Structure 1
């Protein structure tokens, strides 16, 4: 990034309104709750949302159509940071400035962010609209961002926090598996 990078405006998680019709509603509601109640274990940084017009401008400039889920996300928060997992979904401005991943020209990916802090990329496969994590060439595919968030909750929070709503969420995943 250039020297004149301006970090996005933060959104207070206490005042964040998660759109109830968004695919990620349950996961984000749980993460916001955990971040409020267990700040030593869960950090969630939300950023000021963007408008439909700003998303439309991004899509027009980049000639990339975001999924409905990602549109809902950016209207809720222009990217976010979640720890544990160090998942960072970049702002639209950051995504637009990011060069295409050079390691696989055969695939049509949009860089969305990264995880863990060791070079694991979070990508949108523009051909399938699936979320891909690429850890130094090892790829894992998720149906959508909601599924990735669910897997992060399971992988990083199961057994780490004693919380009834977290346990209920995890039990729901057990029923799916």
Structure 2
């Protein structure tokens, strides 16, 4: 048994070193790269969905078609926002001053945006399609509420400044 113990101890030490490295917080550059990589597809998807939603509002469709299309678009935006939030969560906490608060701010903002799109989808799904004029007026109210909720979810960075993160976000090609 004594011969096995030193080998077991050596194995534990060898395996523990990489595991402890994995659990450390990423530096500013690494964290910013992970966050930007998570946000890039989300931004593209939101831009695409916004354009399609605007086209839906000006297209000659029936209220039922508009309702279905807008519901699908908002569901896609909510899903894309959740994917971005999960990607930022996987990035962990940056190894900077107030790193946890900064990471939590990003996560909270994306969760709020996800929820805003989810509420808009629910709002659209709850609308009656007749009379047509009333339907489109109610769609306008849902969109106004979406804009309000979206604005509330904006990340306020006024008291979460990190020079290291700012430099990383400004310098990394993934963040441009």
- TM-score bracket relative to the smaller structure: under 0.3
- TM-score (normalizing by structure 2): 0.26
Report 1 or 2 for greater relative contact order, CA contacts < 8 Å, sequence distance ≥ 6. Answer: 2
**As a proportion of its length, which structure holds more strand?**
1
**As a proportion of its length, which structure holds more helix?**
2
